[in-house]
């Protein structure tokens, strides 16, 4: 009976070594701005219109929109951003997000200004008190024409560090995994689109950036107590097999 009592006691010691990461800051922000001018007059300056979440929360669904037209509607600017994201704190620590940022400008003869900007961002600051395994996967993309620009980025870095442990800015699907040392870490996603055309002879422009099903999970690695328990249990079982 003594070996069985020892096994139960050691198993109870495993739990403290598996405490999950702690979320410290949760910021998810959408922004849109638009302005157009033509020979008929100056269009309304719309924005920046911001939808922001600066408190700790699990589910976020938001949009930001802006549109502006010149007096004769020879110049139209539209900006928009959408995001659907979910965070679950615990072990495993899990986050999932999809979103986009897009701009569109239409300019005909007489247009003199077409401007639109859109951003879509996620920033999580979290603390891990022990080395933890992470997995990150998803897809990103972007497009731009007519003088517009766009960009998309996902990264993980230690707080205060200039270098990222992982960073991706290229379009396409991706998957990575590794270990986060004990400390504070920042996870970020950014999608942005922008266009600024001014003068005569403006043309239509459009751009956009998106991220789809980006998932991050962080699982604390078994600590020294858990490893000790495993060896002790193995030792007890071996003695029982080799005993009389």
Considering only 25-29, 32-36, 75-79, 218-222, which range has the smallest mean pLDDT?
Answer: 218-222
In the beta sheet, which residues pair with residue 18?
Answer: none
Angle ∠(118,137,164) on CA atoms, nearest 5:
70
Average pLDDT, the chain: 83
**pLDDT at position 98, please?**
96
223 pLDDT band (50/70/90 cuts)? low
Q: Report whether pLDDT(42) > 80.
A: yes
Q: Is the peptide bond before 48 cis (omega within 30 degrees of 0)?
A: yes
Q: Report whether pLDDT(163) > 70.
A: yes
User: What is the distance between the alpha carbons of residues 212 and 172, in angstroms, rounded to a whole number?
Assistant: 10
Q: Which residue in this structure is represented by tokens 């961002």?
A: 121
**pLDDT at position 222, please?**
63
**pLDDT at position 12, please?**
32
Q: Report whether pLDDT(95) > 50.
A: yes
Which tens digit of pLDDT belongs to each residue from 174-217?
999 999 999 999 999 999 999 998 887 788 999 999 999 999 99
C-beta atoms surrounding 228 within 10 Å: 15
Q: Is 4 left (phi over 0), alpha (psi -120 to 50) or beta?
A: alpha
Q: Report whether pLDDT(14) > 80.
A: no
- Residue 233 CA from chain centroid, whole number: 41
Q: Report whether pLDDT(18) > 70.
A: no
Comparing CA positions, the residue from 24, 81, 95 lying closest to residue 52 is 81
Q: Report whether pLDDT(10) > 60.
A: no
**pLDDT at position 226, please?**
39
Comparing CA positions, the residue from 43, 46, 114 lying closest to residue 72 is 43
Q: Report whether pLDDT(137) > 50.
A: yes
Over residues 72-94, mean pLDDT: 89
**pLDDT at position 93, please?**
87
3-state secondary structure (DSSP) of residue 120: strand
Question: Which strands, in side-by-side order, build the sheet including 132-145?
Answer: 59-69, 75-88, 93-107, 205-220, 132-145, 172-180
**pLDDT at position 19, please?**
59
Angle ∠(134,138,144) on CA atoms, nearest 5:
135
Provide the pairing of β-strand 166-168 with 111-128: unpaired
């Amino acid at each position: 009976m003594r070996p069985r009592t020892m096994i139960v006691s050691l198993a109870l010691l495993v739990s403290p070594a598996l405490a999950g990461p702690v979320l410290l800051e949760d910021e998810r922000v959408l922004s849109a701005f638009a302005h157009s001018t033509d020979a008929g007059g100056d269009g309304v300056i719309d924005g920046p219109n911001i939808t922001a979440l600066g408190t700790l929360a699990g589910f976020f669904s938001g949009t930001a929109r802006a549109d502006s037209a010149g007096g004769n509607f020879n110049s139209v600017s539209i900006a928009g951003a959408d995001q659907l994201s979910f965070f679950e704190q615990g072990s495993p620590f899990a986050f999932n997000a999809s979103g986009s940022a897009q701009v569109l400008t239409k300019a005909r003869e007489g247009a003199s200004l077409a401007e639109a900007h859109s951003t879509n961002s996620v920033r999580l600051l979290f603390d891990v008190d022990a080395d933890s395994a992470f997995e990150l996967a998803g897809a990103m993309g972007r497009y731009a024409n007519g003088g517009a620009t766009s960009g998309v980025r996902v990264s993980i870095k230690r707080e205060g560090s200039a270098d990222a442990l992982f960073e991706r800015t290229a379009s396409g699907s991706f998957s990575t995994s590794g270990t986060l040392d004990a400390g504070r870490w920042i996870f970020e996603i950014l999608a942005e689109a922008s266009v600024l055309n001014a003068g005569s002879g403006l043309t239509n422009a459009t751009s956009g950036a998106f991220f789809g099903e980006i998932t991050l999970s962080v699982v604390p690695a078994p600590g020294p107590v858990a490893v000790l328990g495993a060896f002790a249990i193995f030792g007890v079982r071996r003695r029982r097999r080799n005993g009389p």
